[in-house]
Amino acid sequence: MDVDLIFKIAAVGIIVAVLNLLLSRSGRDEQALMITLAGLVCVLVIIVQEINSLFELIKSLFGF
């Protein structure tokens, strides 16, 4: 696992938290929820890509 992965996830989290706070305070709760869900999907895509590369490494290690 690379340290850059942690920084990417943390950056997405910080951006989503700030946007969520701004939108909630301005009375746009539905848009704040959509931003939160979009951030969650982005982080899940990043994690799935890393898991895929891990499985490819394991597959090549055992020769499948």
How many Å apart are CA 36 and CA 30, to the nearest integer? Answer: 10
How many Å apart are CA 54 and CA 21, to the nearest integer? Answer: 35
Which residue do the tokens 């938290």 mark? 17
With 70 as the cut, is the pLDDT of residue 10 above it?
A: yes
Question: How high does pLDDT run on average in the chain?
Answer: 93
Model-wide pTM > 0.75: yes
Rounded to an integer, the average pLDDT of 22-50 is 95
The pLDDT confidence band at residue 63, using thresholds 50, 70 and 90, is confident
| Range(s) of the domain holding residue 20 | 3-62
What's the domain count of the chain? 1
Residue 47 CB neighbour total at 10 angstroms: 12
Please state, for a pLDDT cut of 70, what percent of the chain lies above it: 98
Rounded to an integer, the average pLDDT of 36-48 is 96
